[in-house]
Amino acid sequence: MTTYKLVIMDAPIWGLGERLEDCIIAGERALFLACHRLCFAWIDEWYGMTMEQIREMERQTDMLLKKTLKKPGKAGSNKHEGKRKTLKDEIAVVGSCT
């Protein structure tokens, strides 16, 4: 799998701009790496699926994400803290937030 992500940050604030840019770029990089680490950790669950099965999983995940984003509250809470999470655990957690 090869992915590319272009992040452009321009903060034309004298004395603060460069630090702000570096901080935001570092945050983007950390987020991108964390997501790809999870994707690789879940490889046993999605490897071997057909494209239709993957698209169905994407649709389910998209619906759960939209429901979660619509509701205020405990969207960031996770009852599985400290355990290795599987993709199904993550979907269950997102589903329980709705």
Instruction: Tell me what pLDDT residue 9 has.
Output: 79
Cα separation, 65 vs 78, whole angstroms:
15
Asked which of 9-23, 26-40, 71-85 is least confident by mean pLDDT, the reply is 71-85
pLDDT at 45: 81
Q: Distance (Å, rounded) from C-alpha 68 to C-alpha 74?
A: 9
What is the pTM for the complete model shown? 0.49
pLDDT digits (tens, 9 = 90+) for 36-76: 888 888 888 888 889 999 899 889 989 988 988 888 765 45
